[in-house]
Structure 1
Amino acid sequence: MTLKRRIIILFLISSLLPFIFVFFISYHTIYSILTNKIQDNLQSNLRQVELSLENAVNNLNSVSEQLAFKGSIGRDLEILLTSNNAYERSQMTTQINAELNLVTFTNTNVGLTMYYFQKDGLHQFENTGVKPDFDPKTLPLLAEYYGITYYGPHISYDRFNNNYVLSALRKVDLPSRDDVYVYIESNFKLTESLLDNGQNPQHAYYLFLNNDRRITYSEIPDDYPLGATFASDSPDKSHGLRNAFYWFDETSNQGWSIVSVISTADYDKEMNKWFLQIIGSSLFFLGVSVFMGWLLWKMVYRPLSTFNKEMKSLTSNRTPANLAPTRIPEFDQLLTQFRDMKTQIWELFVEVQHKEKRRADLEVEKLLYQINPHFLMNTLDTVHWLAVMNGQGEIDRIITSLNKLLHYNLGKLGQSSTIRDEVDALKQYLILQKVRYDFEFQVNIEVEPSLLEKPIPRFILQPLVENSLYHGFSDNGVIHVLVKAREMIEISIQDNGSGMTQEAIAKLLHGEQPEREKVGMGIGMNYVKRMLEAYYNGQAKIRIESVPGQGTGIFLSLPIAKEETP
């Protein structure tokens, strides 16, 4: 995982965990508070409506008692109905009308008031016009007690009023007739104010239930139709959830009930509003956390990027680049120290390079002088003249070849030769070896004429041919020396000797030889490797291929463009 992702994740965790913890605690707390607030508000409104309606019903009951037989108006009605005197009947009619007007005038919460004669289907002494379709049997029953029945809410039978009212029908109990009733409606403004009292922010609706818990009035008849039974399936009879509506019930002392219902969407509206605010705040703080994590990542990434560039340039650029500062003191201090360290590393590298080159040159010089003491040439020159003076032609030929070979090998350290001189020195060396060994062998040398004057390090062919003679040669041995030009100078020395194993090849190419082997023929491959590395700066290549019992091939690839060292 990248540093950027780790920083952002750590910021998110450090920011979100406390916030989520606080969010859940706050959510449950505020949910409980808001739930209690909404329920208390709904139940308070419902209780207020129930008390107001109960007062209105009690008022209807009180007024109807004054119009019954026990009241003065009821007795006057009995006299009117039983009297045969026309004058007396007229006086009673006038008196009843006056008393009714007085009662309705002093009770402002009363609307339409009249006497209803059930058998005749007639009504008299009404205080206002009555609609012609008046029939108490069609009214929604609210509650029924001995001698009085309550209806409503329903449309008023007042000819000039189409609003909802409550009504009561009380039996007058006249001695002469048992079909006379008092019909009284509440003032429509009272009923309207009671129902409007429920228009709270939660958009609650009201249902009226009679004593049998049947719906006599419904503001949402599609969901709660009139006449349906409102059954409570909640353990708590005062509230519950039904048909996607929360309901709250208040039962009056007379046995009828008023129910407030509110849809779950309206009920949760305030809760959802608060929840959206919390979500918005959460997203805002989350964005701030991500932005802060990004800023921190930039503050760390920019110096790291600068360090990365410095490290990449460590192996390719000796001088520090002019990079802009990070503007963070700690990182700028580290960057300065790193650049100083880089400069010191390059200085040490150059110093080690010079020392290593000098050491390599000294090693090559040491190897040359191990086999090329100067006094040996002077001694051989003396032996040469003695052989001539004594007529020893074979000895003279051998000494002459040896003297030429030593003179060639005694060239100054680092001085280059040509392929022609190197091949001539190899031929002198082979003359001496044919005298030394007691077996027959043949050496074939092929050189492209165009390569004869090309510069080449001194003394590299002889050690390789010596290895071929040294590694298990017997009679009829053949060595092929081939020098040809491709993209590089390609030199191959191949023999048909006993060959070598891969372990032996690896030791020759990569292993260090002990000091006791760095004389005579043991110097061969070690010297050639060091000379090629020093002369060509690692651009030359050497490869050995061998199969035990079949022979060995040594292959050199030397750059052509190398000029002769003066």
Structure 2
Amino acid sequence: MTLKKRIMILFSISSLIPFVFVFFISYHTIYSILTNKIQDSIRSNLRQAEFSMENAIGNLNSVSQQLAYSGTIGRELDTLFTSKDPYVRSQMNDEINSEMNLITFTNPNVGLTMYYFQQDRQIRFPNSGVKPNFDPTGLPLFAQYYGITYYGPHPSFDRFNNNLVMSAMKQVKLPGRNDVYVYLESSDKLTQAIFDKGKQVQNVQYLFLDNSHKITYSQIPDTFPAGSVFAGDIANVSHGLQRDYYWFNETSNQGWSIVSIISKAEYDKEMNKWFLQIIGSSLFFLAVSLLLAWLLWKMVYRPLSNFNKEIKLLTSNEAPSPLIKTNIPEFDQLLDKFRDMKGQIWDLFNEVQQKEKRRADLEVEKLLYQINPHFLMNTLDTVHWLSVMNGQQEIDRIVSSLNKLLHYNLGKLGQTSTIRDEVDALKQYLTLQKVRYDFEFQVNIEVDPSILDTPIPRFILQPLVENSLYHGFSDNGMIEVRIVAREMIEISIQDNGSGMSQAEIDKLLNSEQLDREKVGMGIGMNYVKRMLEVFYNGKARFRIESEPGKGTSIYLTLSILKKEDLQ
């Protein structure tokens, strides 16, 4: 039976165990699911509570506008207090009572409504009985805006109602009196509904905060007393943990907040239940998995031991081991392929040894080739001294220039040099060329002294000047070489020769064979292009401009690099 079939059978048996899928569910996944479930439920009720509070405040605001001086009743109230006619006053009194009843009837979410004269501590036009201890100064301040003061949940001042309500007071602008206020309470059913919903969801308690995050009402005053400032960072986060209580916040557009509070023990109750269940399931499936893993290990132990033996033989250069069968087709195939691979490695090893031997032979041959240039330069030194001793100054000058040029040019190609060395080698080359050619030409070289020691690739100026000499030069020829430094090194080589067509320029730049035919040193434009590509990685620019009969201009733009960049 193959290994694949054996594994399939073992894990098929394990999949039949009840709740086996629970084994693959991590604790963090369950934690996330339950947390989202609890938090979504709390937040849903919190948003409903905040929406209900906003509606209650909106109703109080709407009714207070009707009862203020700018409203209909407000104007009638002004007439009542300013008129001296008893009949008019009686009529206004009846109309105000009637309209107060109408407003109360059409706004079922508004409870106790009345006018309060602060200076006289007098109550007028209440729509219900008022408790004798009415004093708004002791109410918990909830919010203040648009000239209206809102008070947090507190016991109603309605004689027939002891439930918690929200209330609002707005000043009535009457001529000559600044102590008249409209006092309104929300329906007690609204506040009670908010608290009842909190008890249905994880026993949530509520805190009401004003604009400055001060607690105006608390259902758990022992831990979060009214009048204290809530320490949670509700301005930046929507939930947190404080004093072993999780809190969730909803802030209205007016700045006041409702905070749901739930104890950590209550919050984690369902979590702990699931945690105990998953712990028990995990322990059971762990035992089953350990048993299956042990069986699987026993199954593959012998093939792995054979592999280990083969690897040791490979690293110790020992002879191949006798063929051993594992009776598992997959492992037997792998062992056969491993032995084939080992044979190929030994073949490659022998091939590398042969290549190394050939390489050593080439190094010896290379050393032999290096003897001839040294012999040539030593011979030129001998000719130089003979010329000096015999007074042959012209021969001495030519031989000295040739010796210096050969010494520079026969150096290792690709090595770095400096602008100073390149210019010196160019001057030696021009000295030899003036002797060689039978026509006169002039070369002007201008170099910025500040960049003489700047490193550049070896042997890039001479091929460019050679190009000017080989393309239609005649008597009275002029070559100008300028090397300046701005943001980059700029090299220009201009001549007044016969020039070239664009086709000739393309052929010069792209034909390696052309260089070999026309340049005696065997190094031409393609060499310069390759050196720039190798050393400057695309940061150098190489351009040729020419027009038949008007000369040729070659421009190089090189980035300024350090010596280590060109090594």
TM-score (norm 1): 0.46
Query: Which structure would you say has the larger Rg?
Result: 1
TM-score (norm 2): 0.46
